Amino acid sequence: MKHRVRPFVPPDGSFSTEEAFFAEFANTFTINPRGRYFTAAQKGSMSVPIMKRYKEGLDQVARDPFPVYLEPSAETRKKIARCYGANADEIAITRNTTDTVSMILSGIDWKPGDELLTSTMEYPNCVATMLRVAARFGVTIRQFGVPMHPSATADEVIESARRQIRPGKTKVLFFSAITQSNGQMIPPRRMAKLAQQHGLITVVDGAHYGGGCSTRSSMTSV
How confident is the model at residue 214, as a pLDDT? 37
Average pLDDT rounded to a whole number, residues 87-109 = 91
pLDDT tens by residue, 149-185: 888 899 999 999 999 999 999 999 999 998 877 788 8
**206 CB burial (10 A radius; 0-12, 13-18, 19+):** buried
User: Cα separation of 130 and 84, whole Å?
Assistant: 25
pLDDT at 101 > cutoff 90:
yes
3-state helix, strand, coil in the chain (%, to 5): 40, 15, 45
User: Mean pLDDT throughout 12-41?
Assistant: 72
Query: Does the pLDDT of residue 124 top 60, yes or no?
Result: yes
pLDDT digits (tens, 9 = 90+) for 142-156: 999 999 888 889 999
pLDDT of residue 181: 76
Q: What structural domains and CATH numbers belong to the chain?
A: 43-88 (no CATH), 94-221 (3.40.640.10)
Rounded-to-integer distance, Cα 111 and Cα 109, Å:
7
pLDDT number for residue 122 = 93
